Structure 1
Amino acid sequence: MDLISKVQSGNIIKADNTTKNVSNVDFKELLVNALEEVNKDQLYAEEMDQKFMLGEVSNIHDVMIASQKAELSLSFAVEVRNKVLEAYKEIMRIQM
């Protein structure tokens, strides 16, 4: 289950497999959990690549799916970072 569907369901599952209601989660915790998921996807894709090269995994489809999932999650994280930075810059431009 990806982070978006976890949030839509009203719960998020943290890295230590504990569940927390979204209304009780602060923004920092949400970002940390999302980045942990991205990191987990990247590590899994790297592990699958290594297993494929060693001949431990014969199904190239699983390797490609893991690789694409890692690529998409990283791209999504970069886009979220860019939007947060844009919002921060916009807030800093507001004159009081």
Structure 2
Amino acid sequence: MIQPLQLNQVQLVSKPFETNAAKQAATPAEFTQSFGQYLEQALNSVSAQEKNVHTLNDKFMIGEVDASEVLIAASQAQLGLSLTSQVRNKVVEAYQEIMRMQV
């Protein structure tokens, strides 16, 4: 049925009894890779929501599902796409701001 967009669980920033040797800072490449994976998962989730809307729409035409289910799925897909485009806009703005910085 309708799958809600699930974000990764929040991880603890630090543990009180960890030693400094146990803590290792992630490299910029690791941060970039993890952010890239997060964006890829988010885009795949939006794509899956849109496919779900098309499937439910076809089932509605046959008479297998209710109109409310189609409307809910369509609203969720629309919100997901809207969020994705807003995040994209913010990333582009941040990139442009970085490019305007004088070094």
- Fold agreement, TM-score > 0.5: yes
Paired position in structure 1 for 2:40: 32
Larger radius of gyration: 2
Paired position in structure 1 for 2:23: none
Give the CA deviation at 1:60. Answer: 1.1
Which of the residues 34, 53, 59 maps onto 1:45?
A: 53
**Between Structure 1 and Structure 2, which shows a larger proportion of strand residues?**
1
Please report the RMSD computed on the Cα atoms of aligned residues, expressed in angstroms.
2.0
Question: TM-score by structure 1 length?
Answer: 0.76
Give the CA deviation at 1:50. Answer: 1.1
Question: Can you give the 5+ residue segments of structure 2 that lack an aligned partner in the other structure?
Answer: 12-25
Percent identity over the alignment is 38
Q: With CA pairs under 8 Å and 6+ residues apart, which has the higher RCO, 1 or 2?
A: 2
Question: Can you give the 5+ residue segments of structure 1 that lack an aligned partner in the other structure?
Answer: 12-22
1:83 aligns with 2:86: no
Q: Which amino acid aligns with 1:54?
A: I
